[in-house]
Amino acid sequence: MEAIASFKQTNAYTFTFGTTHPSTLQRYEIASQATKIGIDKKGLIVFREGYGLLSETEWLNLFDMLTAPEPPLD
């Protein structure tokens, strides 16, 4: 974790960094550090994108989708 904290500080990044067990990366088929995934409440990947930036609007739409209540069952 020291290496991550140092890298974050050196580059003046303000967003949250995290770590995980390598098996998590394998489970969700994450091939590179730049992979962005959205996992819904059921553990399903509903969004996946590699390199590239998302706009503020795109991030907000993604978070809205991930946190929306589930529709009632008929």
pLDDT band at 15 (very low <50, low <70, confident <90, very high): confident
**Secondary structure E strands in the chain:** 36-39, 45-49
- The yes-or-no verdict on residue 58 having pLDDT over 80 is yes
Contact 60, 38 (CB under 8 A): no
CA 48 to chain centre: 9
Q: Find out whether 47 and 36 touch, Cβ atoms under 8 Å.
A: yes
Q: Domain spans of the chain?
A: 2-67
- According to DSSP, the residues that pair with 39 across neighbouring strands are 45
How does pLDDT run across 17-32, given as a tens digit for each residue?
777 888 988 888 887 7
Q: What's the whole-model pTM score?
A: 0.53
The answer to whether the beta carbons of residues 41 and 70 sit under 8 Å apart is: yes
Strand partners, 38: 47
